[in-house]
Copies of this chain bind each other. A is one copy, B any other.
Amino acid sequence: MTAGEIAALVEGELVGDASLEVTSVHSLEKAGKSQLAFWERKRRGRDLPATNAGCVIVDRRTRAAGPTLIHSSHPRRAFAKAIRAVMAPASHPAGIAPSASVASSARIAEGVYIGPLAVIGAGASVGRGSVLGPHVYLGAGAVVGRDCRLHAAAKVHGNVRLGDRTTLHAGAVVGADGFGFVFETDHYENFLQVGGVEIGDDVEIGANSCVDRGTLDDTRIGSGTKLDNLVHVGHNCQIGRHVVMAAQVGLSGGVVVEDYAVLGGQAGIGERARVGAKVQLGGQSGLLPDKTLDAGGAFWGTPARPLREQLSRQALVNRLPRLRDEVSRLRRRIEELEAS
């Protein structure tokens, strides 16, 4: 791909050699002559550092001798788009590895790749163009849409439906039993879980993350939602579209997360709580069961409070030594008054 083609793709303005051949991407520090890099000006930032990169995507103001520049009003987005074009993997060859165990009743569309030692259960179906890595498991009746990517040892139980272009990273588990028990006299009995999981299009589920099946109805994750690694989604959760959950977030059963919410790493949400649309929840926050975070707000802490309130609480606690000293001074002044 030439620098000129990249500039056209990202709708940037090229200054330099439009015919430069770009073969891959790298960081500004390490890129070489045939590589593309990008550079974002920090608030009080310096100019473009010295670089050997052949081509750099920069903001509109940056000028520099040496590399071919592509000016963009959103260098980061432009670079992300360019990477997808420059580094796009050749489409995966189709085929079923001879060592895979595929049930005869499974429906495998054209153009599907199934890796070595994968197991595809009875009646499972895999849509056109999907790529299943080694040791992947699809339970009986599981449904995988088109152009999905299931990495090594991703596990999809029966009663799970994945939309199109959805990615499960290595070791992710979708559709395990929810954690439901009833206490009987002196022990717990299972509350048998019979629901499923419904996952939309363009969803990502991180490595070793777990999404449990619903108790009676389905657990749902809307299209465009992205879950990082080691996330837990309990039974019956209803997660909207374009939600982001950072690593190690945990959702108890029956939690509702509305569209475009963003949950920071290690945040925990109690049973049946609701996170409103576009909420920004800080890392390690804890939302108590049955509570609601109003749409559009920023929240932090355990129990989760509006961010400003939380920060002002922290500031007040920070000033406690001063308050204690002030009270001591007042006591002495009162004693003087009393003595006079």
Contact = CB atoms under 8 A, between A and B. Distances in A.
Nearest to A139: B152
Q: How many copies does the complex hold?
A: 3
A84 interface: yes
A302 B267 CA distance: 13
Contacts of A46: none
Nearest to A286: B284
Contacts of A101: 97, 99, 116-117, 134
B210 A229 contact: yes
Q: Which of A137, A217, A270 has the most CB of B within 10 A?
A: A137
B137 A137 contact: no
A177 interface: yes
A230 interface: yes
- What is the size category of the interface that chain A forms with chain B? 35 or more
Contacts of A109: none
A188 B320 contact: no
Contact of A284 (B268, B318, B320): B268
Contacts of A147: none
Q: Which of A186, A230, A324 has the most CB of B within 10 A?
A: A230
A213 B302 CA distance: 31
Interface in A92-129: 97, 99, 101, 115-117, 119
Q: Which of A29, A83, A206, A216 has the most CB of B within 10 A?
A: A216
B248 A192 contact: no
Given A83-B192, A101-B116, A194-B83, A77 B184 contact: yes
A135 B157 contact: no
Contacts of A39: none
4 A-B pairs with least C-beta separation:
A119-B134, A101-B116, A176-B207, A173-B207
Interface of A: 24-27, 29-30, 37, 76-77, 80-81, 83-84, 87, 97, 99, 101, 115-117, 119, 133-135, 137, 139, 151-153, 155, 157, 169-171, 173, 176-177, 179, 181-182, 184, 186-192, 194, 202, 206-208, 210, 212, 216-217, 224, 226, 228-230, 232, 234, 242, 244, 246-248, 250, 252, 265-266, 268, 270, 283-284, 286, 302-303, 312-314, 316-321, 323-324, 326-327, 330-331, 333-334, 337-338
16 contacts: A80-B182, A83-B192, A84-B192, A101-B116, A101-B117, A170-B173, A176-B206, A181-B226, A186-B242, A207-B210, A284-B286, A303-B314, A312-B321, A316-B324, A327-B327, A333-B338
